[in-house]
């Protein structure tokens, strides 16, 4: 019997090393290396490189494939917002990973999908891993008055048993909640380890493609917001969705991180309520519902994928209580906030070097679009001057280190959304397009000019 040894594997890049280290030498991640037992290969070393024993494969020309574009019959999930994000619905035989922090509503969203599909006479199997069938039934009762009879569950965490069940039953959809709770005898380690997650994901993905059953996997995230488990997990599946937001706020954003069968530009905004997640058809109206013209508040237009959203950027500027001023941000990158404060002090005449500055994106959203720079700069300048901005003026634009305003993606689409929401003025960088009617477009080259 071969002796079991141990190697140290990075959960971020799957790199292996003979000894433990606090930082991975391959990808540079901190605290990502864990111990994994492995059984060394007992075969002769020379036989590994001996290809003479393997039979040659049969090569074929691509001309043998039908030249017509194959038509993919997508399966509706029962939720219009999820179908929109997926490019029309679930592709048969696909593997989809939906990840998010605890409390974001991943299981709630998938429970709604299960109820919606079974109500249309579709067969759905819900694999219970983290929760017991009783707990899931309580959630289903909260979301629906009656649980459809075609909705079944499998109370097992063995990936091989789950795969065999899908081959035998061939349901219309399989929901695995979650991938970190599954195990297989083909890999060593406990549930949630790198080897187990990688092996279980490979088994279920192969089963999905073999049977044509679409599989949705629930994945957890680390404290840094990364998907828990090896990075190879994201490469194995066909689609990666991320459900984000602040669990203390009502809004949730469903983003597409990877999609082999469609675009990654679509997003959906949900409202978390007692009876589940509700799609918000007009996100800008919902996000600006409580907006008022007060000092330190500005409206900016940001992009979530290709969807423009109007959000309220807030800033609070006070005298520093200590020798080193405090700079905090919620929903906005802290490093970018510090850079912007330096630019405002140096190039815009807005002195904040000795002030405490707090920035916030109202509604609990996390803004990644650099087009929000100008709106936040306007909010900071308004807070410093203690003067409210025009309630019917919106902003978008990226701020450079030299104080210039840089163009951002899809300016026409942003302006159309601003006009739709009833704003009369937009301040933005120079747009190299035809004149836009219906709104006053103030095009500026520098941040000083925009804040004047």
| pLDDT digits 0-9 by tens, 47-64 | 444 545 668 888 877 776
Q: Is the pLDDT of residue 22 over 60?
A: yes
- What digits encode the pLDDT tens for the residues 282-296? 889 988 888 888 999
- Per-residue pLDDT of 392-435, as tens digits, reads 999 999 999 999 999 999 999 999 999 999 999 999 999 876 56
290 located within any domain: yes
Tell me the per-residue pLDDT of 214-248, one tens digit each, with 9 for 90 and over: 999 998 776 555 665 556 788 899 999 999 888 77
Q: Are residues 274 and 296 in the same domain?
A: no
Residue 379's pLDDT is 96
H or E element that contains 417 = helix 411-420
**The Cα angle at residue 438 between residues 437 and 440, in degrees rounded to 5:** 85
* 265 shares its domain with 200: yes
250-291 pLDDT tens trace: 889 898 999 999 888 888 999 988 888 999 988 899 888 888
Distances from the Cα of 246 to the Cα of 104, 107, 253, angstroms: 8, 16, 10
Range of the domain at 408: 285-451
Q: Is 103 contained in some domain?
A: yes
pLDDT of the residue at 45: 42
Q: Is residue 55, in this structure, part of any structural domain at all? A: no
Q: Are residues 297 and 260 in the same domain?
A: no
Report the domain count for the chain: 3
pTM: 0.78
Same domain? For 125 and 18 the reply is: no
State whether residue 269 is helix, strand or coil: strand
Residue 169 lies in a domain: yes
Tell whether 86 and 228 lie within a shared domain: yes
Same domain for 91 and 28? no
58 occurs within a structural domain: no
pLDDT score, position 424: 94
Instruction: Encode burial over 412-446: b for 16+ CB neighbours within 10 A, e otherwise.
Output: eebbbbbbebebeebbbbebeeeeeeebebebbeb
Nearest to 412 by CA among 393, 392, 433, 398: 433
- Across residues 110-131, what is the average pLDDT? 91
Work out the percent of the chain whose per-residue pLDDT is above 70.
90
Rounded average pLDDT over 334-358: 93
Query: What was the pLDDT predicted at 34?
Result: 79
- Summary mean pLDDT of the chain: 86
Residue 65 is assigned to a structural domain of this protein: no
Q: What are phi and psi of 151, to 5 degrees?
A: -95, 115
Phi and psi at residue 404, to the nearest 5°: -85, 155
Q: If pLDDT is split at 50, 70 and 90, which confidence band does 304 have?
A: confident
pLDDT in tens, 135-169: 998 898 888 877 777 789 999 999 999 999 999 99
Percent of the chain with pLDDT over 90: 52
Helix (H) or strand (E) holding 42: none
- 295 and 182 fall within a common domain: no
Domain assignment of residue 66, yes or no: no
The region that residue 266 occupies, defined by phi over 0 for left and psi between -120 and 50 for alpha, beta otherwise, is beta
Identify whether the C-beta of residue 237 lies closer than 8 Å to the C-beta of residue 217: yes
Q: Is the pLDDT of residue 354 over 60?
A: yes
Is the same domain home to 359 and 268? no
Strand partners, 299: 312, 394
Considering the domain boundaries, does residue 218 fall inside one? Answer: yes
Q: Are residues 175 and 229 in the same domain?
A: yes
The predicted structure's pLDDT at residue 40:
52
pLDDT tens digits for range 176-225: 998 989 999 988 778 888 788 889 999 999 999 999 999 999 987 765 55
In contact, 158 and 168? CB cutoff 8 Å:
no
């Amino acid at each position: 019997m071969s002796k079991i040894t141990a190697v140290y594997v990075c959960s971020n890049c799957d790199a292996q090393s003979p000894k433990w280290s606090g930082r991975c030498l391959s990808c540079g991640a901190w605290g990502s290396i864990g111990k994994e037992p492995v059984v060394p290969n007992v075969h002769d070393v020379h036989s590994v490189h001996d290809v003479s024993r393997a039979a040659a494969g049969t090569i074929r020309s691509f001309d043998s494939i039908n030249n017509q574009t194959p038509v993919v019959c997508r399966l509706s999930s029962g939720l219009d917002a999820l179908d929109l994000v997926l490019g029309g619905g679930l592709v048969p035989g696909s593997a989809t990973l939906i990840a998010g922090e605890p409390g974001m509503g991943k299981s709630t969203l998938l429970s709604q999908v299960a109820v919606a599909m079974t109500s249309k006479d579709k067969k759905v199997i819900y694999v219970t891993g983290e929760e017991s069938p009783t707990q899931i039934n309580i959630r289903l009762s909260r979301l629906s008055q009656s649980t459809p009879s075609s909705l079944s569950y499998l109370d097992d965490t063995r990936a091989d048993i789950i795969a065999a069940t899908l081959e035998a039953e061939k349901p219309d959809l399989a929901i695995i909640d979650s991938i970190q709770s599954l195990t297989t005898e083909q890999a060593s380690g406990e549930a949630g380890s790198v080897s187990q997650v990688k092996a279980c994901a490979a088994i279920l993905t192969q089963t999905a493609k073999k049977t044509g059953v679409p599989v949705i996997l629930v994945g957890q995230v680390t404290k840094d917001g990364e998907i828990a488990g090896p990075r190879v997990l994201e490469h194995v599946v066909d689609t990666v969705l991320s459900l984000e937001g602040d669990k203390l706020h009502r809004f949730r954003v469903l983003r597409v991180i990877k999609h082999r069968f469609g675009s990654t530009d679509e997003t959906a905004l949900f409202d978390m309520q007692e009876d589940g997640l509700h799609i918000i058809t007009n996100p800008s109206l919902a996000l600006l519902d409580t907006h008022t013209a007060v000092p330190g508040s500005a409206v900016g237009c940001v992009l979530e994928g290709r969807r423009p959203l109007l959000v309220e950027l807030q800033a609070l500027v006070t005298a520093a209580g200590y020798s080193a001023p405090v700079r905090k941000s919620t929903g906005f990158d802290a490093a970018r906030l510090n850079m912007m404060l330096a630019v405002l002090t140096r190039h815009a005449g807005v002195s904040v070097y000795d002030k405490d500055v707090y920035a916030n994106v109202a509604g609990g959203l996390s803004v990644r679009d650099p087009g929000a720079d100008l709106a936040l700069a306007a909010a900071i300048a308004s807070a410093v001057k203690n003067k409210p901005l025009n309630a019917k003026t919106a902003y978008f634009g990226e701020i450079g280190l030299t104080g210039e305003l840089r163009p951002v993606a899809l300016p026409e689409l942003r302006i159309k959304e601003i006009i739709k929401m009833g704003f009369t003025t937009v301040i933005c960088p120079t747009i190299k397009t035809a004149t836009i009617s219906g709104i006053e477009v103030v095009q500026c080259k520098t941040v000083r000019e925009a804040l004047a």
